[in-house]
Structure 1
Amino acid sequence: MTHTSRGPGRAWIITPGLHTDRFVSAQNSGAAVAVVDIEDSVALADKQTARTSSEIFFAVDEPPCTLGIRMNSLTTLDGLKDLVALAAYTTRPDLIVVPKVESPRDIELVAAALDADGYTPDIWALVESPRAFDHLPQIMRAPRLGGVIFGSADYAAAVRCGLGWDALRYARSALINAATAADIPAIDAPTWEIDDPDTLRRDAERAKELGFYGKGCVHPRHVEMINDVFTPTAEEVAQARTIMAAADASGGTVTTVNGQMRGTPFFNAARALIAEADRTA
């Protein structure tokens, strides 16, 4: 049995594969995508246990959201073991998050190992190393790539920079540019401060402003705010409709809306926002 992917969502929650007691709360947190992790949150000695226990994460008759797994890197023995195990799961993930991606070959290998009759999971790349950023255009051209996720902690550790917004602005901007050029969505890294809603909101607003499709999180408490920030507000939708009305009135030529010049790029952005609002209404 396999579940059909619902596509990318705004809030993504990740939960450790060893903590089966947290599975249901993650799945029902309101996130559009719930990912069970058997990579960084699991010690080397516990990998096999997590690999086995994570199978029940997908044994849900009516999953409330898209269910995924973050496997281990394909440059490790555990990554290869993960592929063998995932291929044998009775109920398989909607979505595979591949960490430490530095080549389109990583995506191709996962597809080759897991694709089967009636089962082609979404495959997402976790981009989290300087080498990956050197090869972004090639990675983005992998035919089975569904989207990319920014891995801020690993990237900052590799570069030996801070985790603050300014230190990681280049990486985020480069990822957004490459993803947009390839017409695939990008998801921002989680905010690591668990109990700081002000920082979470500021980070989510910045990620949205930069062009990210959504944002990851590591605690169910973060889901509601991420959804709130990334959902177009009534004011934003009203402004977009005003711009489109002005576009119609001007015959699509440059015009003025509330004292601001508006032309084709603004019309396109307004049209896209209205379409999204109508789709999620």
Structure 2
Amino acid sequence: MTHPPFRFGPALLFCPADRLDRFAKAAQRADAVILDLEDAVAPDAKHAARLALVESALDPERVIVRVNPASTPQFADDLAALRATDYRTVMLAKVEDTADLVDLEEFEVLALCETARGVLAAEAVAELSNVSGLMWGAEDLVASLGGSSSRHADGRYRDVATHARSRVLLAAGANGIAAIDAVHLDLGDTAGLAAEAQDAAALGFAATACVHPAQVPIVRDAYRPSPDRLAWARDVLAAADGAPGVFAFRGGMVDAPVLRQAEAIVRRVRR
């Protein structure tokens, strides 16, 4: 099955869709802007947000529009506004079943698996042909479980959040689509954001979502391989040319999986 290619860079920036004055700057600062009609917009501002969306004229290749869940009354109005624009990449909030995407066949979809039902449905959702990526979310997940905190006091995710993150990543990887890591809400914890983004890049996430422009350069730096790591990747790929299936390189064994990891490092530089 062929899925739409994930064409965005690693730093995706949320922007409230009722703040038209911020659209262009957010798009300029990040690799793509997520114009948010859902959680970032108060119920009484939804209509104004849709009008702002229709009025905007950003590059559609760098815009994602987050719409309200398919189960809500706002969903149909969101789609009506979206169809009046050139934007064709949708982030569907709180996906819980493949049926949630029935009305989105004309769009490229990033499915947000952020509830208990959504995480369990990630594998089936990832198989849909118009889905180019999956994202997970810690806070809505814990809320759906009746919990009150996704993290320990030291900032580490609790086990259920880590499990959800891994399951969404595996579902995306098994279907050859992108995985997007969750937002880091503690704006002052730049070290924590950097560590999580570095971990995401190492595991194969394609991007990390940001909630503030200051997070964008931190995420970009985290996804960018270090000079030493990039040099190793290029050298080992060069050494593999004409080498047997398994060979020794600088004291380590190199086989096909190691070469694929080296190729992934080089691809991150080209994005």
TM more than 0.5 = yes
Q: Which residue of 2 is the match for residue 139 of structure 1?
A: 125
Deviation at 1:276, TM superposition (A): 4.4
> Secondary structure of the equivalent of 1:93?
coil
Deviation at 1:69, TM superposition (A): 1.0
Matched, 1:269 2:261: yes
Cα separation, 1, equivalents of 2:50 and 2:213: 23
Q: Which residue of 2 is the match for residue 54 of structure 1?
A: 53
Q: 2:95 aligns with which of 92, 96, 101?
A: 101
Amino acid across the alignment from 2:98:
P
Q: 8 Å contact 1:104–1:141 — kept in the other structure?
A: no
Give the alignment of 1:84-233 within 5 angstroms.
84-87=80-83, 89=84, 91-111=85-105, 115=106, 121-159=107-145, 160=147, 162-164=149-151, 165-167=156-158, 168-233=161-226
Q: 8 Å contact 1:187–1:214 — kept in the other structure?
A: yes
Q: 8 Å contact 2:6–2:177 — kept in the other structure?
A: no
Cα separation, 1, equivalents of 2:101 and 2:61: 23
Deviation at 1:249, TM superposition (A): 5.4
For structure 2, the 5+ residue unaligned runs are: none
> Secondary structure of the equivalent of 2:241?
helix
Q: 8 Å contact 1:108–1:142 — kept in the other structure?
A: no
Aligned length: 260
> Secondary structure of the equivalent of 1:215?
strand
Deviation at 1:6, TM superposition (A): 7.8
Cα deviations across residues 142-178 of structure 1 (Å, max 9, x unaligned)? Answer: 1111111112221122231633343121111111111
TM-score for the superposition, normalised by structure 1: 0.85
Q: 8 Å contact 2:93–2:111 — kept in the other structure?
A: yes
Deviation at 1:77, TM superposition (A): 0.7
TM-score for the superposition, normalised by structure 2: 0.88
Q: Could you list the runs of 4 or more consecutive aligned residues of structure 1 that deviate by over 4 angstroms after TM superposition?
A: none
Q: Which residue of 1 is the match for residue 250 of structure 2?
A: 258
> Secondary structure of the equivalent of 2:240?
helix
Q: 8 Å contact 1:217–1:223 — kept in the other structure?
A: yes
Task: Indicate the RMSD between aligned Cα atoms, in angstroms.
Answer: 2.0
Cα separation, 2, equivalents of 1:268 and 1:42: 42
For structure 1, the 5+ residue unaligned runs are: 116-120
Cα separation, 1, equivalents of 2:234 and 2:225: 12
Q: 2:63 aligns with which of 46, 61, 67?
A: 67
Calculate percent identity across the aligned residue pairs.
30
Deviation at 1:70, TM superposition (A): 0.7
Cα separation, 2, equivalents of 1:84 and 1:103: 22
